[in-house]
Structure 1
Amino acid sequence: MALRVPRPASPATPVPTLTVDDGVRAAYAAHGAEIYRLAVRGLGDTCAAQDVVQETFLRAWRAWDRYDASRASLRTWLFEIARNVVIDAQRARTARPWLRGLSDHESLEQSAPGVTDGLETLMRRVLVEEALRRLGDDHRRAIEETYLADRSYPEVAAELGIPESTLRSRVFYGLKALRIVMDEMEVTP
């Protein structure tokens, strides 16, 4: 399968194509380090984290034709795959206790409680950031300042130089749009 590069070209110049291998290489260059850090935090083991990164990009390579850029960014799609691989690795450790003896036992014990919860929180944060990027600037800023920064409406309205009622409207309609975007991304609350 070849991907078309969205680059304007003159009629005489052919549009170059990227192979799936090139796309996965570019994705690895752009997001491999982030996925590695996510895996290290989730598993507490650098060797297992390297395996997670490898498995993540292998699964991405196999499913490349199913990636839909209109549903989520490449980063979000890769992080979702990585999340599943980390969970699979955690389950494998539980099913095979002898694997625990092959890595640093102390760091595993420290990272084991609540790892899935921390990973879920991180993934939810990534998905919410992606959804917020799809909102208009006014609505996104209103939500970020009031909800995410936990600032009061009068304070934010004064800073933005708008009436408080306008800010409340932006927050209301921004949250409504955010719910629609998250539904489109198939993110459950």
Structure 2
Amino acid sequence: MATTTEDFNRQLEPHRPQLLAHCYRMLGSVHDAEDLVQETYLRAWRARDRYDHARGSLRTWLYRIATNACLNALESRSRRPLPSGTVTESDPLQPFVHGGEVTWLQPIPDALLHLGDPAGSAVDRSSLRLAFVAALQHLSARQRAVLILREVLAFSAAETADVLDTSVASVNSSLQRARARLKEAGVLEDHVPEPSQTEQRTCVERYMKAFEQADIEGLKQLLAHDVLMEMPPMLNWFVGRANYAQFMGWLFAKAGSSWRLDPIAANGQPGFAAYRRGASGAYELHTLQVFAVTAAGISRTTVFQDAEVFAAFGLDTVSAS
């Protein structure tokens, strides 16, 4: 193992995007994930003289440290769901109901994971989808770790047992329970082929144009029939084109039809930051929206209105007109 900080960092740095993605999947928080990657690097530095090359790869060693740091953190932190996995569906015109003290799942900027760049090529986009990360929140911390290690990172049962300091039988049992829990909740990861990144972005660009024109019929044409919209920190969520159109009609009537939309990318999915023209004439930050796009159209819209999420994406509170 390298003995200088510079050499050590040089060996570890290529693993950072993958470790950040791993900690994010485990915790559902960008800030917490970044903190735990730093903790992983600190622990690795302190234990560098005890690293045994013969026992396993540097990658496995780092995931052992990161996974156990996440498990320790989860002992004192609540799960981070989305509204659709927490409460029953609501009417699209029902008054907003705030989730109170619930800590919601957060999106993660693609830029932090270098998605699309060679440095981030090893990060699996499908395992970052908001719906999948939200599904993980239905599992216990250890089941979550086993599922990610085995099915996302392709660790063997023996390697996973080594990471978690347990038996192969325990790993297999946890994986079976995790799969059953996700199947029961109806939130198993979707392996159906999806449109290319370019096609997804093109669809959302068409949505943005219709949004800026307050064109509800144009928006409806881009939606899957069973599209789902949810809006943490509000508990409200609903399904279907008709409900979606009703809500958008209410939104334009309530918040006006003068908007500025700036594209963003989160969780390997397209999205945008929405700025609404305020009383002063300036465009004020309103929401950050992330989309799941299938061959049938936009199947899920997750709308965030949270200062911590805005900060993670480096969004200005006011956009130039």
Residue 155 of structure 2, aligned match among 124, 127, 136: 127
1:28 CA drift (Å): 2.8
Percent of paired sites with the same residue? 31
Counterpart AA for 2:156: V
Preserved CA contact (<8 Å) 1:53 1:82:
yes
Counterpart AA for 1:112: Q
2:167 corresponding residue in structure 1: 188
Aligned residues: 114
Greater percentage in helix: 1
Q: Distance in 2 between matches of 1:58 and 1:107?
A: 26
Greater percentage in strand: 2
1:32 CA drift (Å): 0.9
Counterpart AA for 2:155: L
2:104 corresponding residue in structure 1: 106
Stretch deviating more after TM superposition (23-32 or 57-66): 23-32
RMSD between aligned residues? 3.2
1:126 CA drift (Å): 4.4
Deviations along 1:163-183, whole A, 9 cap, x unmatched?
xxxxxxxxxxxxxxxxxxx89
Q: Does 2:49 match 1:21? A: no
Counterpart AA for 1:119: A
1:122 CA drift (Å): 2.4
Counterpart AA for 1:61: W
Q: Does 2:108 match 1:83? A: no
Structure 2: gaps spanning 5 or more residues: 79-99, 107-132, 169-321
Q: Distance in 1 between matches of 2:66 and 2:155?
A: 13
Q: Distance in 1 between matches of 2:77 and 2:15?
A: 26
Deviations along 1:38-63, whole A, 9 cap, x unmatched?
01111000000000100000000000
Residue 92 of structure 1, aligned match among 61, 76, 81: 76
Residue 54 of structure 1, aligned match among 31, 35, 38: 38
Residue 71 of structure 1, aligned match among 55, 58, 65: 55
Preserved CA contact (<8 Å) 1:42 1:115:
no
Distance 1:48 1:70, change over 3 A: same
1:87 CA drift (Å): 0.5
SS state at 1:88 partner:
helix
